[in-house]
Amino acid sequence: MYFKFIFILVIILSFSINPVFFENSFAQQKTSPHHQWKQFTDLDNIICKEGHLLLQKNNGNPSCVTPSTYLKLIDRGYGVYDSSIMSKRPEMMNQLMENMASNDKLMYHWHKMLQKNPSMMIRTLDDLVSQNKDNPELLKNMLAPMTSDPKLREKMIETMKNHPQMEHSLKQNTIWMDSVHHKIIDFGMDQGMHNSECVWCPDYQMNSNHVYSEEFTNPDRMMDLIHHIWMNHEMTQDMHMMMMKNTSHMAQMSEHMMEPMLNAIMNDEILRQQMIDLMLEHSDFMNTIRHNNPSK
């Protein structure tokens, strides 16, 4: 009986303590970074609410901002990317990279820097190949804009023609050779983006109308942020995965560097065959091949 009483008493006390405990644990998160800074004067103790990133401004004060605001403040010189802050907050770093991968203005600079950096280009293409082999769905994201947009489609076909291994594989593929000699399929509409019944093409948005060069007031600050990520191979691999999962980003990437991307895929026998199988399922793309085929 005595032990039963003690057990009940412990339960009652736990219910009376828990609300206070949780209230105190979340109180700091509700307090502004400025007040937390006054109390602790240590960045490691600053807590931001969910979805916000911690940025130490140039005047030394901490601020919790959204990922998009974080990039704007760095661009305008109100703060700098601090790897020591982000390394202790992997969730924040992940949110920042997700925002970067979906920011076509910033990715324009990423692609331009890749083209000027041979070693990083090689690493990027190696990641592209290995991650596509691990996850076939990524290849669909990569090929969707290339096969669906008329201008990219023509450039893609030209790149394929200049790749001896791909040309050989296509000629050895009976289904492919039969298909390119079929008559053009008439869908009753102009051939263009999203007109085909491509079951594996996810939605995406082309970015060709953007004026990328005017989007950042100080591109050098963005370049510094990109370099910090490039220095960490594991972080760079994560970034490449986010980029490949984002079909709109892959559309933009196809505009800037289709040839090295496609060549990396076509150099791999397994991915080359997967690429052929997907193209055969894309009616608009196959119609373009038939348009270019004198024996159709």
Residue 156 or residue 192, greater confidence: 156
What residues pair up with 64 in beta bridges, in sequence order?
Answer: 54
Mean pLDDT to the nearest integer, 109-116: 90
% of the chain residues with pLDDT over 90:
44
Which tokens hold the place of 32? Answer: 């502004």
Report angle CA 53, 58, 59 to the nearest 5 degrees. 110
Q: Exposed/middle/buried for 200, CB within 10 Å: 0-12, 13-18, 19+?
A: middle
What residues pair up with 65 in beta bridges, in sequence order?
Answer: 53
Are 85 and 54 in contact by the 8 Å Cβ rule? The answer is yes
Whether the predicted pLDDT of 257 surpasses 70: yes
At 5, the amino acid letter reads F
Out of 61-65, 139-143, 230-234, the most confident range is 139-143
Whether the predicted pLDDT of 277 surpasses 90: yes
Are 255 and 208 in contact by the 8 Å Cβ rule? The answer is yes
Enumerate the H helices of 149-231 as residue ranges: 150-161, 164-171, 174-180, 219-230
- The rounded distance, in Å, linking the Cα atoms of 47 and 233 is 27
Which tokens hold the place of 17? Answer: 């303590």
Mean pLDDT to the nearest integer, 1-25: 44
If residue 54 lies in a helix (H) or strand (E), which one and from where to where? strand 53-56
- The rounded distance, in Å, linking the Cα atoms of 193 and 247 is 14
Are 77 and 112 in contact by the 8 Å Cβ rule? The answer is no
Residue 190 or residue 70, greater confidence: 70
Read off the pLDDT band of 46 (50, 70, 90): confident
- The rounded distance, in Å, linking the Cα atoms of 48 and 30 is 8
Report angle CA 244, 97, 194 to the nearest 5 degrees. 35
Distance linking the first and last C-alpha atoms of the chain: 93
pLDDT of residue 188: 44
Weakest mean pLDDT among 78-92, 153-167, 177-191: 177-191
Read off the pLDDT band of 206 (50, 70, 90): low
- The rounded distance, in Å, linking the Cα atoms of 143 and 127 is 16
Are 99 and 67 in contact by the 8 Å Cβ rule? The answer is yes
Q: Other C-beta atoms within 10 Å of 43: how many?
A: 17
What residues pair up with 62 in beta bridges, in sequence order?
Answer: 56
Which tokens hold the place of 232? Answer: 């960490």
